[in-house]
Amino acid sequence: MTFSTRRVALVGALAVGIAVLAGCNSGDKGAPQAATADAAYDGTIHPEQWPVVEWPLAEDPALEKRVNDLLATMTLEEKVGQLVQGDLASITPDDVRKYRLGSILAGGSSDPGGKYNAPAKDWLQVADDFWAASMDTSGGGKAIPLLFGIDAMHGQSNVVGATLFPHNVGLGATRNVELQRRIGQITAAETRATGMEWAFAPTVAVPQDVRWGRAYEGYSENPQLVAEFAAAMVEGLQGKVGAPDFLDDKHVMVSVKHFVGDGGTTDGKDQGDTAVSEAELRDVHSAGYVTAIKAGAQSVMASFNSFHGVKMHGHKPLLTDVLKGRMNYGGFVVGDWNGHGQIPGCSTTDCPATYDAGLDMAMATDSWKGMYESTVAAVKSGKLSTERLDDAVRRVLRVKFRMNLFDAPKPSARALGGKFELLGAAEHRAVARQAVRESLVLLKNNNGILPLRADQKVLVAGDGADNIGKQAGGWTLNWQGTGTTRADFPNADTIWEGLQREVSAAGGSAELAVDGKYKAKPDVAVVVFGEEPYAEFQGDIPNLLYKPGNDADLELLKRLKSEGIPVVAVFISGRPLWMNREINASDAFVAAWLPGSEGAGIADVLLRKADGSVNHDFKGKLSFSWPRTAIDSAVNKPGHNPLYKFGHGLSYADKGDVAALPEDSGVTGEQAGSGVYFAKGRPALGLSLQLSSASQPDMPATTVPTVLADGTLRMTAVDHKAQEDARRLQWSGTALAKFALIAATPIDVTRESNGDVQLQLTLRRDSAVSAPLTVGVGCGAGCAAKVDLQATLSAIPAGKWVSVGVPLKCFAAAGADLSRIQRTTELETAAVADISVSRIALGAAGEAEVNVDCATR
């Protein structure tokens, strides 16, 4: 059943307060223009104004007896253990055996043996080992099977060889709800094969500002579309309530996320504040939860964001009064990565307030031991009531009994355990390939250039043409989806491989030249380019410019056009961006989103059959409106005027000619990507360079060379990847001196620290480092922190450019207040040193080539 045919049923289900949805036309309207929050609105929640939802699982007396009988025998410590979840990178089976924890997770970059490309058998062994620990009573305690959760975001995307589906931004463009259900079934099967029974999916955010780095995790800006896909994905992953296979060991339980309002933060800031009206929060941002609860979702994940300043992990009116009360939610609420630590008065290791607010299981990734101990103490002292504790434990145990985990063998002995042939199975890949075909949105087709004859000379160019990592995007083998190789994807086709195979089969010739410098002049060029992989934090951007300051892709398109070659642009991205210049430089423009492992699905649509007929037509329709300028990113703001509205998308039957578009982005001033402090030889907008010594503090370094008057530090320009794109820093060793990047206004990086983000420096050592050389941050008078890099730099070969990552947590541990950083980077020494720096930016753990462990310093 498609999106439009299920509208009437959905509107009936939303019932109370969803009048906005009833007027939302699937053809040309995106997010409803919900009222923005009144300036006087203080964030008060009125549960009686929210929809009443019927929990689909009737009370089961036999199940309740099993829960209550077990609960009656459990010690306080065993109860608390059920409510704490540790991360694979920070916990061992012996820890589970001792503390009787109820769950573990594998975070985006937490893998067996610390290897992002660990084989499937290693994942299954980990699952067996932790299961065995939870069932081992040799040291006392109850045998209560744990839940193993993982971010199966677009397939079982953490495991080498798994089928990788398009991210949700592309699936929303298909409008094919039944296809989504099938994708859920396949994801469940491949997840079970590797040992887990819990998928942290689906994301039912309704992104209203695509500057948000997680916008691609949302199906659409339209709440009705999100609601339909949410129900289908829940049923695909878990099975249908009432069916014999519901929650059997060929399915997984879900975690519908992130409750609530993650897609509505001001300026699209990840983990920011959602300062909208209660009506918009209810009608737009909760739409997916209504249908997911009706489908029997077993867990809901609390969000990092705030609602009018109150963090969701501590928001009792929403977690308890609305979700569990008004909406009759009968599963359990799990936290996000140390999200409880953001509640005022809490830390990551001590937060009874989050349980009191309605959280049932804390995702205390690396803080699980402290959280366990402090929660036990909180119950003993009365800070956390026994009633709330028992309610949370009951909710977790009910799910485990519903899934028959108490009667199940170890993961490898279950129905699909160890059936690794399911990973990337031909049938599964065929479904993913269909999803790619149906997700493609055609925005331009001048002179009907598409579909292309396959029996001609086809040039395939662009850095996305032969790059699985790029076409798969974030949450692929690791958190940010970076640093992977072709060998990591044995069951996949790049876009080039799909095109080359079909062209050759039709008697044509295909040539791959990433830079577009062909050997023989082609009849047509297909240029594949787009965003680099990213996930939360790293994906936030200040506007909708595409690669500001880097016009290489545009220049490639223009060069091929100038040589008389028709150009088809295939754009890989997790969101719509301002692409007017690139659209103008192309004869055809295709939004391919993040297609995943099946790049051949693009060839299916771009190329004709051998007899010249259309093979597959374009079916995709925009699930997000496409911007007219680079500053019109928020669909819920007055004056939003997209270039292409929600629902737009050409087919081959349409006249696809597009007149030249305006090339004024609307952005003024030089813009740097989010989290980039220094690149291409200059600081980011809003930052400045300074050199300092005791005799000459805070001297602006606006030109090269810049030399302190006392000769302690000299800065000159050197080349890394381009002419003078780096700065060479030479300390004389006569006195202490520093290089610093200063922010005009303080920067808050607490959320990045919570997500294990690093300060990453791309640098080259050209001298010995014989004394301490520190990297630090400053946060106002008397507030600073430093980490010594002497040992790290000494271990790096001289003359080699290397990226070095320092966890932001290191600076917090050393005393910095990460909520008000003004000196974003300081490099300081009193010794002779010669260091060149080409880039300073925030980055995900695992991206840097060398990682500093502050625990050993």
Burial class (CB in 10 A: 0-12, 13-18, 19+), 697: exposed
Burial class (CB in 10 A: 0-12, 13-18, 19+), 797: exposed
Q: Beta-strand (E) ranges in 232-327? A: 253-254, 256-259, 273-274, 299-302, 306-307, 310-311
CA 669/CA 818 separation, integer angstroms: 27
What strand order describes the sheet that includes 299-302?
256-259, 299-302, 332-334
CA 351/CA 225 separation, integer angstroms: 36
CA distances from 432 to 164, 382, 428, 455, 656 (A): 7, 52, 6, 26, 27
H-assigned helices in 747-848:
750-754, 790-794, 808-813
CA 171/CA 320 separation, integer angstroms: 32
**Collapsing DSSP states into helix, strand and coil, what is residue 271?**
coil
Counts for the chain of helices (H) and strands (E), in that order: 24, 33
Q: Beta-strand (E) ranges in 584-708? A: 588-593, 676-679, 682-683, 687-693, 699-700, 706-707
Which DSSP helix (H) or strand (E) runs through 394?
helix 386-402
What strand order describes the sheet that includes 457-461?
441-445, 588-593, 567-572, 524-530, 457-461, 509-512
Candidates 78, 262, 278, 336; catalytic one: 336
CA 394/CA 402 separation, integer angstroms: 12
CA 698/CA 689 separation, integer angstroms: 9
**Contact indicator for 567, 560 with CB cutoff of 8 Å:** yes
Burial letters for 321-333: b for 16+ Cβ neighbours within 10 Å, e otherwise? Answer: bbbbbbbebbbbb
CA distances from 30 to 19, 27, 622 (A): 15, 9, 9
Q: How far does the chain reach from its first CA to its final CA, in angstroms?
A: 59
366 is known as an active-site residue: no
**Collapsing DSSP states into helix, strand and coil, what is residue 778?**
strand
Give the HSE-up count for residue 127: Cα atoms under 13 Å, Cβ half-sphere: 25
Burial letters for 839-856: b for 16+ Cβ neighbours within 10 Å, e otherwise? Answer: bbbbbbbbbbebbbebee
Q: What angle do CA 594, 600, 606 make, to 5 degrees?
A: 90
Q: What angle do CA 452, 453, 459 make, to 5 degrees?
A: 70
Candidates 221, 493, 536, 553; catalytic one: 536
**404: which DSSP letter?**
T
Q: Among 334, 335, 358, which residue's Cα sits nearest to residue 348? A: 335
What strand order describes the sheet that includes 699-700?
699-700, 687-693, 737-747, 821-829, 773-778, 784-788
What strand order describes the sheet that includes 273-274?
273-274, 306-307, 310-311
CA dihedral sign, ordered 780, 674, 647, 430: negative
CA 379/CA 376 separation, integer angstroms: 5
Query: What percent of the residues of the chain are helix, what percent strand, and what percent coil, each to the nearest 5?
Result: 30, 20, 45
336 is known as an active-site residue: yes
**Contact indicator for 835, 773 with CB cutoff of 8 Å:** yes
Show which residues are catalytic: 336, 536
